[in-house]
Amino acid sequence: MTKVDCDVVVVGAGFAGIYALWKAEQQGLSVRGFERASDVGGTWYWNAYPGARCDVASYNYAYFFNSDVVREWDWSDVCSRQGEIQQYLSFVAEKCDVTRLITFDTRVLTTTWSEEAGLWTVRTSGRETVVCRYLVLAVGALSEPKAPDIPGVDSFEGEAWFTSSWPRDSEVDLKGKRVGVIGTGSSGVQCVPEVAKVAREVVVFQRTANFVTPTLSGPMDPELVEELRADPEAVRNGLRKTYGGNQPLYIGSDRFSELDEEGREKALWHAWEQREVALAFWDSHLPDANAAISEFIRQRMHEVVNDPWTADQLVPWDHPYGGKRPCKSDVYLQTFNQPHVRLVSLRETPIEQIVSKGIVTSAEAFDLDVIIYATGFDALSGPVRALNITGIDGMAMNDQWADGPVNYLGTMVHGFPNLFLPSSAMSPSVLSNMATLAEQQIDFIFDKIRWLDEHGQARLHPTAESQEFWRDETLRYAKRVPGALTTDSWYNGANVPGKPRRYMVYRGGFSRYNDACYRELEEGFPGYEVLPGRAA
Ligand code: N01
């Protein structure tokens, strides 16, 4: 009989991983954690580039499972910076006494299911082999950087840095240097203004313009903090009943369809001043409202940039608001008004190659001291694919996902029993509050484990039919979202050459998602195949 080393292995020590480790111990299970970084934090460990901060408000982007954590931690800003969020995660890991369970600086290389034993075998870069009953891959949605698909990347002789793995053990000194930044998603938008503060020259290479709206910032409202601290459990339950897993500080109360032109304009300006223009109307998600919001933002963006050509280029004319992940910044667009900052439109003059001295476009050669790649991630499915997972009958996850990821309720895959994938594809994931999602998914996962143990069952995995149903549901809701299927984005895999195009975010809303998960639990898992017996 195969010897079991522990009940649960948790891979990853970000929001979901830390909570999973705590939850396992609370449930009386033995557990081990593996983390490829040297510390906890996940996304908030790696993305330590200048300017990195969260654009979901910290009063919601936090744990609510532990009242002491809620009461003892003070956020310095409504939307906190990377360093503070990582410190918060360290604080929680210490408070919950889970750091001791984690083996750091260790990658999981392969994970293999044995149907005979009903167990997972995990092999690590530390040459360890660990056998467990349940495997929780809390590896995040945005943790597998996209390889830069540009010819000549290795020939550059200057410094090259990635926002997705910014060095933490040494200072990156950009003072007085000529810096090129490739990529204008959230990371590029946050990084460019900080780079411009110190660099001699900044050249931003933009392929697709993004929506950029003002960010929330400033100290936390003390009354709101008191409210959160009074009853964290109520906050937690309340968040799960919302559409996005958070409670926006402002949402327009009028419907776009019921307002006249003047009323719409007034609502847009009011929401703009509240820094929540995307929520200007109660029905902001409908196509006409979305079109008005998109146009309003385009105008606001255009008017803050002095040079007309640069302004034209920076405005996203080619997709509606929300088609790609919108960005937030109060200073990004204005940075292009500085004389040492220049925009290069790769739509007009594409990069031909990177050479030893810099970047060559179809029109010009740019000599640079530093290149910063803010080129994004193989999102959602990428981190799971990197783990070489083999399920029933030797089926490789990567084969099953050859045409794009499939799963049921965003957490389990047919043919891979007792394997759980929080934060991966087909959940509200990146279009919800990831902290709320981490708690919800880990709760649901450990509720499943408890149910199995209480019912004398050993393993479960979703049926192929449930998985197909969920894929169709995800598509059905995506079709309702303006631009979701027509815009090239990492939401649908279009950012990675050769990646199958499949919309990977469940847009039915957090509340509906939560209900669907817990309906399964209440009804004894009709969407799953449950197998008896318990591994030793
Ligand atoms: O990555 P991205 P990111 N040549 O994929 C360009 C979260 N996040 O790291 O759009 C030239 O959005 C690419 O161009 P295009 C957030 O969810 C959150 O910025 O493919 N350009 C794009 O402009 C976010 O959405 C926060 O045409 C190339 C950019 O690189 C997600 O992480 C902060 C290229 C990549 O943008 C990812 O954001 C930061 C090439 N070969 C991140 N390849 C906050 O909470 C790619 N690009 C605030």
Return the HEC string of 181-227. EECCCHHHHHHHHHHHHHCCEEEEEECCCCCEECCCCCCCCHHHHHH
Question: Please, are residues 448 and 529 in contact by the beta-carbon 8 Å criterion?
Answer: no
Of 84, 142, 327, 328, best ligand 1 pocket probe by most atoms within 8 Å of the beta carbon: 142
In the reported structure, the alpha carbon of residue 444 is separated from the centroid of ligand 1 by a whole-number distance in angstroms of: 31
Q: Tell the residue nearest (CA) to atom 20 of ligand 1.
A: 495
CA nearest 178: which of 163, 156, 155, 152? 156
Across the range 148-152, mean pLDDT stands at 94
CA nearest 200: which of 311, 342, 332? 342
Domains of the chain, start order: 6-144+378-458 (3.50.50.60)
Cβ(375) – ligand 1 distance below 6 Å: yes
Question: Please, are residues 384 and 397 in contact by the beta-carbon 8 Å criterion?
Answer: yes
Extended strands (E) in 48-200: 102-103, 108-114, 119-124, 129-137, 159-162, 178-182
Distance CA 474, CA 381 (A): 15
Joined together, the tokens standing for residue 192 give 């460019």
According to the model, what pLDDT value does residue 448 have?
A: 97
Residues in the chain: 536
Q: How do beta strands 129-137 and 419-420 pair?
A: parallel
User: Exposure pattern of 75-112 as b/e (b: 16+ CB <10 Å)?
Assistant: bebbbbbbebbbebbbebbebbebbebbeeebebeebb
Joined together, the tokens standing for residue 64 give 């609510």
Across the range 304-309, mean pLDDT stands at 98
Q: Does the pLDDT of residue 59 top 90, yes or no?
A: no
Question: Please, are residues 8 and 25 in contact by the beta-carbon 8 Å criterion?
Answer: no
Report the DSSP beta bridge partners of residue 457: 532
Joined together, the tokens standing for residue 149 give 């698909």
pLDDT digits (tens, 9 = 90+) for 487-505: 999 999 999 999 999 999 9
In the reported structure, the alpha carbon of residue 531 is separated from the centroid of ligand 1 by a whole-number distance in angstroms of: 42
Distance CA 423, CA 142 (A): 9
Atom of ligand 1 nearest to the CA of 208: 27
Q: Does the pLDDT of residue 57 top 90, yes or no?
A: no
Question: Please, are residues 214 and 328 in contact by the beta-carbon 8 Å criterion?
Answer: yes
Cβ(186) – ligand 1 distance below 6 Å: yes
- Tell me the three state secondary structure of residue 335: helix
Cβ(323) – ligand 1 distance below 6 Å: no
In the reported structure, the alpha carbon of residue 165 is separated from the centroid of ligand 1 by a whole-number distance in angstroms of: 14
Distance CA 370, CA 412 (A): 42
Q: Does the pLDDT of residue 441 top 70, yes or no?
A: yes
Cβ(499) – ligand 1 distance below 6 Å: no
pLDDT averaged over the chain? 95
According to the model, what pLDDT value does residue 534 have?
A: 56
Q: Tell the residue nearest (CA) to atom 12 of ligand 1.
A: 185
Q: How far out from the chain centre does Cα 510 lie?
A: 15
Distance CA 349, CA 363 (A): 6
Q: Tell the residue nearest (CA) to atom 25 of ligand 1.
A: 325
Report the DSSP beta bridge partners of residue 24: none
What percent of the chain lies above the pLDDT cut of 70?
99
According to the model, what pLDDT value does residue 147 have?
A: 85
Most distant pair of Cα atoms in the chain: their distance: 74
According to the model, what pLDDT value does residue 397 have?
A: 97
The tally of CA atoms less than 13 A away on the side-chain side of residue 53 is 21
Residues in Cβ contact with 338 at an 8 Å cutoff, skipping those fewer than 6 apart: 196
Cβ(490) – ligand 1 distance below 6 Å: yes
- Predicted structure pTM score: 0.96
Cβ(182) – ligand 1 distance below 6 Å: yes
In the reported structure, the alpha carbon of residue 240 is separated from the centroid of ligand 1 by a whole-number distance in angstroms of: 28
Q: How confident is the model at residue 4 (pLDDT cuts 50, 70, 90)?
A: very high
Distance CA 164, CA 45 (A): 9
Q: How confident is the model at residue 193 (pLDDT cuts 50, 70, 90)?
A: very high
- Tell me the three state secondary structure of residue 90: helix
Cβ(319) – ligand 1 distance below 6 Å: no
Among 171-185, 244-258, 438-452, where is mean pLDDT lowest? 244-258
Among 212-226, 361-375, 402-416, where is mean pLDDT lowest? 212-226
